[in-house]
């Protein structure tokens, strides 16, 4: 053994083990430099530990007393609904903890097929396919559907998962300015030489709380022979008269070709995503979509919870109707206090602050006052556009909302964000 090490040392200068340690030391140095840069920029993201169920009232590790939660995607408050929890327990008991397999091998159960059919009915589409997340649905769609003969036209502020999914495909890529229909039309004119043209947009944009002008998008798509894809993660369950999403809200359900959305926000809050649209498209995704083919199927408990959440939503739209008034209450009170709140009429209410450190420090001081909110900064949002994103839930009371506004005013004055 010594002779072997001596031979390596003579040939390469250092023993193999020493070279490995040197490489690891180099890696550590690089990583620590990157991490220190994040800290220095004031964009470090800490994770608070919740010690209770998700909901409007939670408990946080290291903080005494109850906390009002204003930054979850739990729009309808169904993540801890007794009937949703019971449905998950029943599915766990009947179908087990998981399938230990991908769908096409031995990972499809009757509850998966039933939920896909229910999703298609809910969105008034032909078929649907489940994924582990909507990130996976977005990663799996464009590569399977589009070829080098095709073109995809994407809003510049689309969600990261749409951007990453588009990067994976070989179609020609056009990016139009955020919500700019003149720029979209110019790009559509340029893209006429391609076989298929797909306009891709978020329905509701998660960082700014604004809504895509789907009527205008669909009109342009019709004029230039394009298809329309909408990511509805921040719309499914609560936008539109019956919670079908932005296409229902804006009256274009029959003009949007493909919808991707999530089960991890309004529809139970666990995980899972889906694509719904024409049956041949869904069939193609089952054959070619890599995240579908190479990922374990959704756990039965998650499927059971999401299915019950859809049932509750389709039985009554009472919860949906309560959202608008509560959202307006928060927005109007915050704007009257002097804050700038981005977007309009969406329960995502970004309180614009600009400076990353200010957003982080204000969020920390809000927690001291019993309000759970998070500062958002680069790279989640562009530099100079840091914010605290407040999200209203149907299960927040008016008193909850007023208390949140009062804390914002107090903390805003403390940090000079308000006069």
**Chain centre to alpha carbon of residue 29:** 33
In order, the DSSP letters of 35-96 are HHHHHHTT-----PPB-S-SSSEE-BTT--S-EEE-S-S-TTS-TT-HHHHHHHHHHHHHH-
Are 255 and 228 a contacting pair, CB within 8 Å? yes
Mark whether 101 is an active-site residue.
no
Question: From the candidates 79, 133, 161, 206, which is the catalytic residue?
Answer: 206
Using left for φ > 0, alpha for ψ between -120 and 50, and beta otherwise, residue 346 falls in beta
Helix (H) or strand (E) holding 174: strand 172-176
Q: Is 137 helix (H, G, I), strand (E, B) or coil?
A: helix
Quick one: how far is CA 137 from the chain centroid? 12
Q: What are phi and psi of 220, to 5 degrees?
A: -65, -40
- Which H or E run includes 129? strand 127-131
Active site residue 234: yes
C-alpha–C-alpha distance, residues 363 and 22, integer Å: 41
Residue 265 bears catalytic tag? yes
Q: Which is the catalytic residue, given 265, 308, 333, 346?
A: 265
**Among the options 112, 159, 234, 385, which is catalytic?**
234
- Catalytic center residues: 206, 234, 265
């Amino acid at each position: 053994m010594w002779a072997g090490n001596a031979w390596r040392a003579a040939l390469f200068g250092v023993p193999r083990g020493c070279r490995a340690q040197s490489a690891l030391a180099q890696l550590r140095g690089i990583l620590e430099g990157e991490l220190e840069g994040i800290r220095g920029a004031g964009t470090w993201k800490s994770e608070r530990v919740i010690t209770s169920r998700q909901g409007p009232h939670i408990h946080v590790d290291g903080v005494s007393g109850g906390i009002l939660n204003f930054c979850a995607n739990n729009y309808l408050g169904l993540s801890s609904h007794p009937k949703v929890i019971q449905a998950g327990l029943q599915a766990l008991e009947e179908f087990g903890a998981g399938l230990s397999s991908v769908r096409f091998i031995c990972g499809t159960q009757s509850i998966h097929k039933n939920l896909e059919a229910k999703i298609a009915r809910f969105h008034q589409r032909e078929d649907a396919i489940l994924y582990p997340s909507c990130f996976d649905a977005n990663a799996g769609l464009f590569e399977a559907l589009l070829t080098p003969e095709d073109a995809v036209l994407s809003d510049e502020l689309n969600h990261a998962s749409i951007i990453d999914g588009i990067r994976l495909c070989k179609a020609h890529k056009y990016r139009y300015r955020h919500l700019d229909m003149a720029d979209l039309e110019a790009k559509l004119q340029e893209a006429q030489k391609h076989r298929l043209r797909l306009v891709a947009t978020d329905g509701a944009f998660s960082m700014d709380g604004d809504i895509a002008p789907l009527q205008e998008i669909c009109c342009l798509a019709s004029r230039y022979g394009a298809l329309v894809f909408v990511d509805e993660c921040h719309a499914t369950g609560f936008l539109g008269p019956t919670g079908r999403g932005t296409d229902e809200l804006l009256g274009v359900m029959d003009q949007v070709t493909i919808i991707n959305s999530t089960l991890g926000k309004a529809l139970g809050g666990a995980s899972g995503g889906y694509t719904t649209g024409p049956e041949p498209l869904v069939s193609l995704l089952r054959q070619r979509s890599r995240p579908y083919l190479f990922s374990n199927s959704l756990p039965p408990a998650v499927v059971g919870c999401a299915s019950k959440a859809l049932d509750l939503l389709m039985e009554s739209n009472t919860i949906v109707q309560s959202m608008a008034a509560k959202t307006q209450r928060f927005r109007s009170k915050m704007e009257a206090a002097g804050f700038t709140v981005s977007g309009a009429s969406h329960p995502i209410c970004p309180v614009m602050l600009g400076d990353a450190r200010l957003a982080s420090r204000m969020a920390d001081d809000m927690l001291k006052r019993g309000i759970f909110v998070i500062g958002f900064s680069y790279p989640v949002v562009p530099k100079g556009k840091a914010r605290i994103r407040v999200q209203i839930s149907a299960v927040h009371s008016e008193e909850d909302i007023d208390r949140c506004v009062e804390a914002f005013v107090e903390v805003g004055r403390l940090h000079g964000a308000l006069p």
